[in-house]
């Protein structure tokens, strides 16, 4: 059963090339929005909190601050509406899922940039 699912994913699911990113990285996701007949491109810039799943079911969660309110959005990696993903900063964190980031405010909510 598992091999059949893998075969269908490989054959029929279109894959796009995106840069490698992980938890703590700041990225910008450009995606297309359809409103009736019109389409426009919108972007969502924030910090990656987690990457979940494998293959075609892979998703990533991004968190940004909109004023004083935290906004999170979950994107499937194979979403056809995603046009491109840009890497803004490479963050240095110790964990794969940084849910503790939700409770931090002010200077504590900063993530150190990874040294190249």
Per residue in 74-115, pLDDT (tens digit) is 999 988 899 999 999 999 999 999 999 999 888 898 899 988
* The pLDDT of residue 13 is above 70: no
Per-residue pLDDT at 87:
95
Residue 16 covered by a domain: no
Residue 3 located in a structural domain: no
The per-residue DSSP string of 62-108 comes to EEEEETTEEEEEEEETT-TTEEEEEEEE-B--S-S--GGGGG--GGG
pLDDT (0 to 100) of residue 24: 93
Task: Write down the mean pLDDT value for the chain.
Answer: 90
Task: Report if residue 93 sits inside a domain.
Answer: yes
57 part of a folded domain: yes
Can you tell me the distance from the alpha carbon of 35 to that of 73, in angstroms, rounded to the nearest whole number? 19
55: in domain: yes
Residue 51, domain CATH: 2.30.30.790
Question: In this predicted structure, which of 4-13, 39-48, 77-86 has the lowest mean pLDDT?
Answer: 4-13
Residue 85 located in a structural domain: yes
What residue numbers bound the domain in which 53 lies? 26-99
Residue 114 domain flag? no
Q: What percentage of residues in the chain have a pLDDT greater than 90?
A: 64
pTM value > 0.85: no
Structural domain total, the chain: 1
């Amino acid at each position: 059963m598992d091999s059949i699912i893998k075969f269908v994913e490989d054959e029929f699911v279109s894959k796009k090339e995106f840069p490698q990113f992980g938890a703590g990285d700041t990225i910008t996701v450009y995606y297309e929005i359809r409103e009736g007949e019109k389409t426009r491109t919108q972007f969502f810039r924030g910090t990656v909190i987690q990457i979940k799943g494998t293959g075609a079911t892979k998703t990533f969660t991004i968190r940004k601050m909109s004023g004083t309110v935290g906004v999170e959005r979950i994107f499937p990696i194979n979403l056809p509406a995603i046009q491109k993903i840009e890497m803004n900063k490479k963050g240095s964190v110790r964990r794969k899922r940084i849910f503790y980031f939700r409770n931090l405010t002010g200077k504590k909510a900063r993530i150190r940039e990874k040294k190249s």
